[in-house]
């Protein structure tokens, strides 16, 4: 449940300008997650979220930290990836990843954070991620790497 909640937090701050822990807790409760402020606070710390000034509203909002904590954030995303992926297959230059329900976006975000040069793009749905690779060989290689991450 923790990984699903944290994946949803990442999704929420990506799509909405969340200013406070209370607002984040309310959004999570509206989505069926029974959370407390303390739980959200721990999640924010573990995900290493920061507050940045929004260009649109001029108010502060939660965001994913960059540069100085990027490597630990990427590690966290890899852990989320490992916990949510149930199957990985290739179809020529396309990699198809199946996840637990509701975690396709989190897996896609983890893939994007890996910054693999052979990834042309990714599309995350509810429980499926499609990744377009540069060629068939890159897809097979990526699939093998992803299987190793799951071990």
**CATH architecture observed for domain 83-150:** 2-Layer Sandwich (3.30)
Cα–Cα distance between 33 and 8 in angstroms, integer? 10
The token pair that represents 103 in the structure block: 């975690």
pLDDT in tens, 36-48: 889 999 999 888 8
Specify the range with the lowest mean pLDDT, choosing from 14-28, 49-63, 87-101, 126-140: 49-63
Q: How confident is the model at residue 67 (pLDDT cuts 50, 70, 90)?
A: very low
Alpha helices per DSSP H over 48-135: 70-84, 104-114
Cα–Cα distance between 29 and 84 in angstroms, integer? 21
**CATH architecture observed for domain 2-65:** Orthogonal Bundle (1.10)
Task: List the Cα angle 144/151/116 in 5-degree steps.
Answer: 40
């Amino acid at each position: 449940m923790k990984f699903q909640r944290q994946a949803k937090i990442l999704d929420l701050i990506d799509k909405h300008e969340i200013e406070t822990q209370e607002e984040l807790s309310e959004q999570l409760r509206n989505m069926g997650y029974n959370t407390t402020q303390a739980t959200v606070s721990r999640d924010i710390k573990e995900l290493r979220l920061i507050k940045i000034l929004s260009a649109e509203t001029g108010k502060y909002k939660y965001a994913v930290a960059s540069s100085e904590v990027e490597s630990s954030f990427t590690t966290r995303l890899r852990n989320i990836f490992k916990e949510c992926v149930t199957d990985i297959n290739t179809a020529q230059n396309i990699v198809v990843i199946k996840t637990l329900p509701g975690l396709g976006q989190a897996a896609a975000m983890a893939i994007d954070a890996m910054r693999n040069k052979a990834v042309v793009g990714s599309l995350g749905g509810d429980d499926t991620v499609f990744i377009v690779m540069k060629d068939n060989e890159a897809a097979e290689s990526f699939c093998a790497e992803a299987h190793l991450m799951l071990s």
